[in-house]
Structure 1
Amino acid sequence: MSCPSSPLIENYLREASFWHVANIGQGCKLDMKLISAFVERWRPETHTFHLPREECTITLEDVQLQLGLPVDGFVLTESAQSADWGAICYDLLGAILDTIYGGRIDMGWLQDTFLALGDDSTEVERVRYARAYILQIFRGYLMPDVTVRFSVVSKIVF
């Protein structure tokens, strides 16, 4: 993440159950040797860590406990199809990206467009900033190897 979340959007992040995720890494020291050891023991074909005594995997409950994300309630199962991604982009974020490929947005544009939130910002601006921040959370923490689509943020309602 390019910067910590603004206190002005804390309530929106809490309402969307992303407050805990937004604070990952704050005051946390990473042990690169430990991370390297786990990376070497990860087997992507079985989605498990191969440890000296047995195998270990990460469960949905582990994710819930570590990230504080809810794993019960409504699920996202549909695919968002749209002919006018620019209109969706403007509706959700208040700005339009020059090129949108099938709902995919460029994270560099997102960071450049939502640099800082002023103390005099309106509620609409804060909601849009919170949505942009949540998209950055998806790209930075939750799914760093995939492209974030608008269908993800369109389900986040404040």
Structure 2
Amino acid sequence: MADLPPLLDGQYDSTHRCQQWINPEGPLGGPSTFRCRGPSNRWILDERFVPYLSRSGLLPFARMTSSPQLFKLDPCLLTSLVDRWRPETHTFHFRWGEMTPTLQDVSMITGLPLCGIPLVLPPARASWKEDFEQLMGQLIPRTRTDKLARGVPISWLVNFIDFPTGVSEEVVRRHLIAYLLYLFGMLFPSGNGEVVNPIFIRLAEHIALPLNNVEITQYSIGSAVLCQTYRGLCDASYRRKKVSSVAPILCVYYIFLQLWS
């Protein structure tokens, strides 16, 4: 095995994926380029959603992601950032020093709200699938292996993109819930596949409350995105424990991290 570079420490870096760079001939081989999951910014914002998004603080972010053009992700760039991430300090170690994304970066790049109560969501109910199907009026398809989905499939949510004008507020809110879950799938990609974690269903329902309801709570979603970024980078920086033919998954809000870099 090759000697550690001067900036690395044998004790602290024994589990870092940089070991696969140092010893590419080892049992795990060299490190792989990460895969990116979650929806892309292809869902155009419907103007009927604007009042709901405005009071929740999500309108600037929705406007930013409402583009017919696909944002091109660079998995190699994101992978190179992971290789420079230090879980002990939550910073990137570059040649010129340490840097890290901050709450100000989240606010300036994404427009997500920082004010509000912390986004601490309760676990999904055991009956979340049946309840959500009843709410949306459509059945969620099973997986290829005929198992229950671990979340709301993103490919299923796109069925709610188009809906006619002149419909009731209840129908608008139903499509808004699908749109919100699409946004949350972008902000908080899941390691369980191309699905949205069901814990976000109740948050989407809360934001889609009738407009005459003045008790809606605003959440600090920007803070949650920064926490997710730190956690995703920390999880990704650990080297594999076994050989796998499938590339590892990076679970962060990719557009934010790429624009920040």
Scaled to the shorter chain, the TM-score interval is: 0.7 to 0.9
Change (3 A) 1:84 1:65: same
> Offset of 1:75 from its aligned partner?
2.2
Name the structure 2 match of 1:80: 123
1:106 lines up with 2:142 in the alignment: no
Correspondence for 1:62:
105
Q: CA deviation at 1:38?
A: 6.3
Provide the secondary structure at the position in 1 that maps to 2:139.
Answer: coil
Could you tell me the TM-score, scaled by structure 2's length? 0.49
2:196 to 140, 148, 158: 148
Aligned to 2:95: 52
Residue 90 of structure 1 and its aligned partner are, at CA, apart by 3.5
Secondary structure of 2:196's match?
coil
Q: 1:24 to 1:49 in 2, by over 3 A?
A: farther
| Pairing of 1:111-150 with structure 2 (within 5 A) | 111=158, 113-140=159-186, 142-146=187-191, 147-150=195-198
TM-fit CA distance, 1:114:
0.5
- 1:26-79 deviations in whole A, cap 9, x for unaligned? 49996878x955652443443433333111101233213322222232223242
Distance 1:5 1:58, change over 3 A: same
Unpaired segments ≥5 residues, structure 1: none
Task: Assess if the C-alpha contact under 8 Å between 1:38 and 1:49 holds in 2.
Answer: no
> CA, structure 1 residues 41+87, in 2 after alignment: closer, same or farther (shift >3 Å)?
closer
Equivalent pair of 1:94/1:128 in contact (CA under 8 Å): no
Distance in 2, matches of 1:151 and 1:28, equals: 29
Where does residue 12 of structure 1 map in the other structure?
Answer: 52
Taking the aligned partners of 1:45 and 1:94, their CA distance within structure 2 comes to 46
What is the CA–CA distance in structure 1 between the aligned matches of 2:112 and 2:170, rounded to whole Å?
Answer: 24
> Residue 155 of structure 1 aligns to a residue in which SS?
helix
Report how many aligned residue pairs link the two structures.
154
Q: Root-mean-square deviation (CA), in Å? A: 3.1
Measured in 2, the distance between the counterparts of 1:115 and 1:68 equals 23
8 A Cα contact 1:10 1:19, kept in partner? yes
Q: Is the 8 A contact 2:86 2:92 kept in 1?
A: no
Contact 1:41–1:51 (Cα < 8 Å) also in 2:
no
Q: List gaps (5 residues or longer) in structure 2.
A: 1-40, 143-147, 210-261
Q: Which residue of 1 aligns with 2:114?
A: 71
Question: Match for residue 80 of structure 2?
Answer: 40
